[in-house]
Structure 1
Amino acid sequence: MTVENAARVRAKKATTVKYSVPAFEHGLDLLELLLASPVSLSQTAIANQTGRPISSVFRLLNCLEQRRYVQRDVDTGNYGPTMRLYQLAQACPAHQRFRDLAMAPMQDLARKVGESCHLSIREGNQLRVVYNQPSPHMHSLNVSENATYSLVRTTAGKLLLAHLPSDRRERLLESLPEFREYSSREQETLRADLEELGLKKITAVPSQVTPGVLDVDLLLENAWLGDHAVLAVPCIQKYSKSEQKTNLLPTIEAAAEHIVAALKEA
């Protein structure tokens, strides 16, 4: 939802609300804007996009910075959300509900393929693991819940980037320090890879992070608070191409369908 659309929705609701708290509503507008933005924003940009006077924006930012909900970049002076906001989200029922709904299909998937599996989301400019289901077997790969990884150096991160609208993806790429460190040729190669990956919902490729591991990642569309998530299964490379096609990938796809169906019914 764009800022303009959000403003219209709030205006419509305001006609039926007997009491309002303008200062609190303005603070929520600001937080929603910062959370939705792929890059940090200046006071002027925030004022322009929220329609608030810059003096009001300054006071709100100062309050939120003192409470550690936003932070100011010392180099640019721009503002972005802190992990304190995400810690609040970890405790909210929506996050726990997401885990609860995904748990049974992921436990079944781990049992059937003999590998761990995990769910990841894009959180700002990084990839975050929000749930990991260990394998029932002793020898398997696991990732820690709440661990964060690079968007451009992980298969799951690339899959999420690839399915962003092209303009949002480009703005996000330009904001990533890892991307800016790439040469021009490497940047163009990544852009081409993302365009190709945007045509796929599932991919199975050797891991760039862990040698000898096959990364299988499947996009779950609009699964996490209106955004995409990724169901990932890191496998020790023991599956032939034929076994991947006839057994591994269909099993993962079936688990993803069960997760999506559970989310729709919730």
Structure 2
Amino acid sequence: MSNKIYFNTPSRFSLKRSLVNVSTRLHHTLARGHAIKTAKKLLLTPVRIKVKNVEPQGMVRGKVPCSEGALTTFTLGKGPVWLITHGWSGSTTQFYPLMEHIAQQGFTALAFDYAGHGESEGQFGHLPAFVNALDAMVDSCDNIVGIVAHSMGSAAVLESKHQKLTQVPLLLVAPVLNYLENLMMAVQRSGFSIKLFNDVISEIEQQYRYPLQSINPQQYLIERQSPTIIVHDKADKFANFSISEQLTEQSQWVNLKEVEGYGHNRVMKSDEVMQAFEQLVENAALKK
């Protein structure tokens, strides 16, 4: 979904939102096929934002084939692999500081850009496509000992049923865990026609054989039995902090690090995220 919709904040009345509602409903009524095609471009095309972090020395780029388009990978360091996955309209560049930290601890930091994001091929992005790309990445590498995921990337990790990921520790940064609710609220706030949106979703469900109502990252996190640390800003405007709080109370495997002053994106290079990574590594070492 375009950043203008996904990262829109609600207001009591918006003339622009009303105009969007009227125009998309009319378009859907008069030219359904063209409206769906146009809506897919608007709703499912991420913005290719490149965060201005300095690229670490020794970074190696690669390619992994995927049905969504070739994925660009970024590898730093040597040793067991920590797989890193960004969120909607994100990119690997957001994780450069954390990747350096991971490599300095004796691990390989392996990140990738989802299709339609960063330096990867493809145009459209949505959760089923994220899961497909994640599984393709996991198939391409061995010795994965942990995962770091941000925002919607956290939902993709929890939705994946790949055997290599079932027992590895997770570091979830500002996770979007109420994915369906978050998605519907974003569309409603934008004023976009719900009927048109549902037609777009129906096409994706049929193409990927992935019913929207089957998406449930919260339940999958509760069912996991591997160490998980969530780092989440209490004032995050885009990912509901209270959901992270609730899940911490519901699972003995999940711990929450509350932070303030970072927001949804800057938290990725916070000291608290670095410390959470070190804690997961230390806990894993104690079990060996």
After TM superposition, the score normalised by the length of structure 1 is 0.34
Quick check: which has more Rg, 1 or 2? 1
Q: Which has the higher contact order (CA 8 A, sep 6+)?
A: 2
Tell me which protein shows more helix as a share of its residues. 1
After TM superposition, the score normalised by the length of structure 2 is 0.32
